[in-house]
């Protein structure tokens, strides 16, 4: 656990702020959403959250686009 591969969550992707390819820290987060008035119906949707390590710009994108 102490060893860092440097590849696990580092993605080189275009950043809108930097307007170039920068290194991003990417993580997957489950966000609880309530889609209806029914409180019993909660769905946990995976979001792909990435943060630019250069400018710190945060960007989250929903993975399920059904
Ligand atoms: Zn950036």
pLDDT in tens, the chain (66 residues): 555 444 457 889 999 999 999 999 999 999 888 766 666 677 888 999 999 999 999 999 998 766
Kindly state whether residue 2 falls inside one of the protein's structural domains.
Answer: no
**In angstroms, what is the span from residue 15 Cα to ligand 1's centroid?**
5
**In angstroms, what is the span from residue 34 Cα to ligand 1's centroid?**
31
Domain range holding 26?
Answer: 10-62
**In angstroms, what is the span from residue 59 Cα to ligand 1's centroid?**
10
Q: How many separate domains does the chain show?
A: 1
User: C-alpha distances in angstroms, 23 versus 15, 39, 53, 59?
Assistant: 9, 39, 6, 13
HSE toward the beta carbon, residue 43, CA cutoff 13 A: 9
Kindly state whether residue 1 falls inside one of the protein's structural domains.
Answer: no
The pLDDT value given to residue 40: 64
The pLDDT value given to residue 7: 46
**In angstroms, what is the span from residue 11 Cα to ligand 1's centroid?**
12
CB-based contact 57:25 (threshold 8 Å)? no
Kindly state whether residue 3 falls inside one of the protein's structural domains.
Answer: no
Kindly state whether residue 5 falls inside one of the protein's structural domains.
Answer: no
What is the enclosing helix (H) or strand (E) of 52? strand 42-52
**In angstroms, what is the span from residue 8 Cα to ligand 1's centroid?**
19
The pLDDT value given to residue 1: 52
User: Does the predicted TM-score (pTM) go above 0.75?
Assistant: no
Kindly state whether residue 35 falls inside one of the protein's structural domains.
Answer: yes
């Amino acid at each position: 656990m102490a060893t860092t591969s440097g590849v696990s969550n580092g993605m080189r992707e275009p950043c809108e702020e930097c307007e170039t390819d920068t290194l991003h820290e990417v993580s997957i987060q489950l966000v609880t959403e309530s889609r209806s008035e029914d409180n019993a119906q909660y769905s946990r949707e995976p979001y792909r959250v990435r943060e630019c390590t250069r400018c710190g710009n945060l960007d989250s994108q929903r993975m399920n686009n059904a």
